[in-house]
Amino acid sequence: MTVRDPSEGLYARLASSDHKTIGQLWIATALLLLVPTAVLGVVLGLERVDGVDLFAGTNGYFQMWTLYRFALVLMVAAPLFVGLAIVIVPMQVGASNLAFPRAAAAAGWGYILGAAIVVVSVLAGGGWGALDGVSQGEADAIGLTLMGTGLLIVSLMVAAMCIATTVISLRTKDMTLLRVPLFAWSMLVTAVVWLLTFPVAIANVVLIYADMHGGSLEFGFPEGPDPVIFHQLEWLFLQPQIYAIAIPALGVLGSIVPVVAGIRQVGHQPMMAIIALFGLLGLGGWSQPYFVDNTGDFLFVAFGVVAFVPVLGAVGGAVSTLLQGRAPMFPPAHLLGALAGIALLVLAVLTGTLRVVEQFELSGTTVHTGTVNLVAFAAVSAAVAGLWFWAPRIIGALLGSGIGLMVILALFGGAGLLGTADVVAGFLDASDLMLHDSNEGSVEIMVFVSIVGAVVVAAATLGLWAGIAKAVRNGVQAPADPWNGHTLEWSTAKHPKQSGDLRVVSEAPLLDRRPEAIEVLYEDAR
């Protein structure tokens, strides 16, 4: 996935401890999995149409419905940001490499293996429970699915530990935590949230596995229907935990907007506080509806309502920076992608705010699915924006602006239709699974709208790969700093630490070297 010397062998890449190579592994795998996940979203939409049965029964539909959620969140959205962070964060903080690079590489292979185990086991009849009873053969496959799920989560935790350690311990001289660029800061916050919450999910997996193989302790396994296996892990896709995968979207926005505007981020430290607050409000694990129904509890409602505050704060910071700087009339693809991601996130937190209001009675409706789609594709859109922005550092080439704009617009439009249709259907009392007996009148219209959105998203994923393939095939080396960047990853064609003459006196050390340019821009802004 990079413009490289063809003499470099496959073994050298597979055994590499270079953070760029490791990050490329994560990014390429996540983008590869994005395509079948998007296609699965289309098929699930078609299954909801009355008279269509593509999965041979409700249990097959349930298996694919749960696989879609796990794939979109744990196999695509979260790993995309991990890959970006592994490549970019060490350069942003002036480190020579990622902390514990071999652990990050092992986590990457664990992620690939875990994803493969999950997909194969689900196709073999496993998954996260069943709606029509569990046979012994299905029980073995479910056990394999749980093992793959645990491996995925552990891999994300190990990668998060490497990223957090890099930001905390490997910063270059004079770069305090308050001077860390916003993307690196957002990944530190994300890593802390994941390391505090994912162990709870591992405990859930262990409990379920022990229950399956140690006797009927809680679920009555394997006699009768067993959807509670999924219900014990469902908190990963509900508020507040679902917001944890979109925390880096705020960091991507904060890294791209100032560069496009040509000035510093307005209120860098307040933006750091905003990202930290959003991370705090993405702490889940304590809210598990299977064990304790906390709907209506003060803490649950507060987390849902206050989540709107940091997202609006990030929007305000971006708008202020663009207005005070020299914003282009026609935004480049990376800026449009960052704004699209934050717009989808605004829709998601607005939906989440409405969901926690008990009077609306949205629990158990397709509002859950709509929120998952909006948050996950907000994260994907922001990650794609980061990919377009940092492509010279990731693959050594610029990605096409035209195809980038089309991909971003398609992702935004498709995800908006997909998520909003499910939210509206939820207000019409459609159940979250939305089986055939729920689809009447206006709900049926929303089903067709969601199918259109899913098709557009799937087309965008294909366009994304086409853009990357074209850039790699052309093999044109990108300039070291095509955007006049502000932070250390743009300092040299090599590693920023090798430049030797950069003193970090602010969050934008490269901008500090162009004081006359700053003066002109601020005069224009006045």
| CA nearest to 187, candidates 94, 93, 263 | 93
Output 467 or 328, whichever has higher pLDDT.
467
Mean pLDDT over 513-525 rounds to 50
- 341 has a pLDDT exceeding 50: yes
State the DSSP H helix or E strand holding residue 30, giving kind and residue range, or none if neither.
helix 19-47
**Distance of alpha carbon 380 from alpha carbon 371, whole angstroms:** 14
- 523 has a pLDDT exceeding 70: no
> Please, where are the H alpha helices in 308-396?
308-324, 333-355, 367-394
Q: How far is CA 433 from CA 53, 267, 443, 505, in A?
A: 14, 43, 13, 53
Q: How far is CA 63 from CA 229, 304, 377, 388, in A?
A: 12, 29, 21, 34
**pLDDT at res. 440:** 65
222 confidence band (pLDDT: 50, 70, 90): very low
- 498 has a pLDDT exceeding 60: no
- 70 has a pLDDT exceeding 90: yes
CA 469 to chain centre: 22
Task: Tell me the per-residue pLDDT of 427-459, one tens digit each, with 9 for 90 and over.
Answer: 888 888 765 455 567 888 898 999 999 999 999
- 8 has a pLDDT exceeding 60: no
- 495 has a pLDDT exceeding 70: no
- 26 has a pLDDT exceeding 90: yes
| CA nearest to 205, candidates 87, 118, 320, 326 | 118
